[in-house]
Amino acid sequence: MLECASLVGMGEIATKEAFQWITSFPKIVQASAIICHILDDITSHDLEQTREHVASTVQCYMKEYGTDVHVARTKLQGLVDDAWKEINEECLNPTMFPIALLERALNFLQMIKNIYKQVDGYTNSSTKMK
């Protein structure tokens, strides 16, 4: 849970209550986990097909709904879009925690978005991320 680790060093903002809140898996953390997982699986699907990996989200979707890769990726991207809507909603609703805590989650998501923009920049970092 990188979002929890990112609170370290925030000084007085990162209170015990803030750590308890983020480890309670609130909607913003759930949505960011969905985005991270699905974007990783969408962009790494082709590479994973050349290796012996466990089934990815794309493969599971294809098997469950009897679709092809293109349809599965489109539907999964829709789930990512829905998760972004939840994050926007969470950011617009006031919480008892400073906005700086929410900004950490948003910054993490911006990083994930850039890493998995077109290819799996984490696994294959010699491409766009170099």
Identify which of 125, 105, 128 has the alpha carbon closest to the alpha carbon of residue 35.
105
Q: Per-residue pLDDT for 62 more than 80?
A: yes
Report the chain's mean pLDDT, rounded to a whole number: 78
C-alpha–C-alpha distance, residues 29 and 107, integer Å: 12
52 vs 40: which has the higher pLDDT: 40
| pLDDT for 7 | 60
Residue of 73, 81, 80 lying closest to 42 (CA atoms): 73
pTM above 0.85, yes or no: no
| Across 19-47, average pLDDT | 83
Residue with the bigger pLDDT between 12 and 119: it is 12
Q: Is 39 within 8 Å of 31 (Cβ atoms)?
A: no
- Res. 127: pLDDT tops 80: no
Q: What is the pLDDT of residues 63-91, one digit of tens each?
A: 999 999 999 999 999 999 999 999 889 88
> Buried b vs exposed e over 70-87: b needs ≥16 C-beta within 10 Å?
eebbeebeeebeebbebb
Residue linked to tokens 């979002």? 3
What's the pLDDT score for residue 123? 53
Q: What is the pLDDT of residue 54?
A: 72
Pull the structure tokens for residue 97: 């925690």
Residue pointed to by tokens 């290819």: 119
* Token digits of residue 99: 């906005």
Residue 19 has pLDDT above 80, yes or no: no
What number is the average pLDDT over the span 27-37? 87
Query: What CA–CA distance (Å, rounded) separates 124 from 119?
Result: 8
Please state the rounded mean pLDDT for residues 31-44: 86
